[in-house]
Amino acid sequence: GAFRAMREARPVALSALDRCAWDYVEGRLALAANATADAQLAFELAQAQACPLSGYATLRSAQALARAGRADEAIARAGAVPEDLALRDEAKLVVAEALSAKNDRA
């Protein structure tokens, strides 16, 4: 699918900024294809401090962890989503869904 095509098209030599963008997009495509392990790896790479997409990568990483059934890790990762991120409310949904998956209604 699209994830595989993106990975095959990826240039070998990329600047740090371009590498960050490619990692993030690969993560989004992998998550859409339910390849959660690949998505998790790509999002972790995109979480580098210098990456302008790191906050979004942290959020999507939390979603990938939740989808993989790793609720406690998803909750912890969702807690690391920056407060100023436009999609911060989605992190709250990740926490709610992860708690529900654990049957924790607290």
Using CA atoms, how far apart are residues 19 and 98, in angstroms rounded to an integer?
30
Cβ atoms within 10 Å of 100's Cβ, excluding its own: 12
Which of the following CATH numbers is that of domain 2-101: 1.25.40, 1.10.287, 3.40.50, 1.10.10?
1.25.40
Is a pLDDT exceeding 80 seen at residue 3? yes
Residue 101: both structure tokens together? 């998956």
**What are the pLDDT digits (tens) for 69-98?**
999 999 999 999 999 989 889 999 999 999
**What are the pLDDT digits (tens) for 36-54?**
999 999 999 999 878 999 9
Using CA atoms, how far apart are residues 8 and 64, in angstroms rounded to an integer?
22
Residue 80: both structure tokens together? 């690391």
> How high is the pLDDT of residue 7?
86
In what helix (H) or strand (E) does residue 66 lie, and over which residues does it extend? helix 54-67
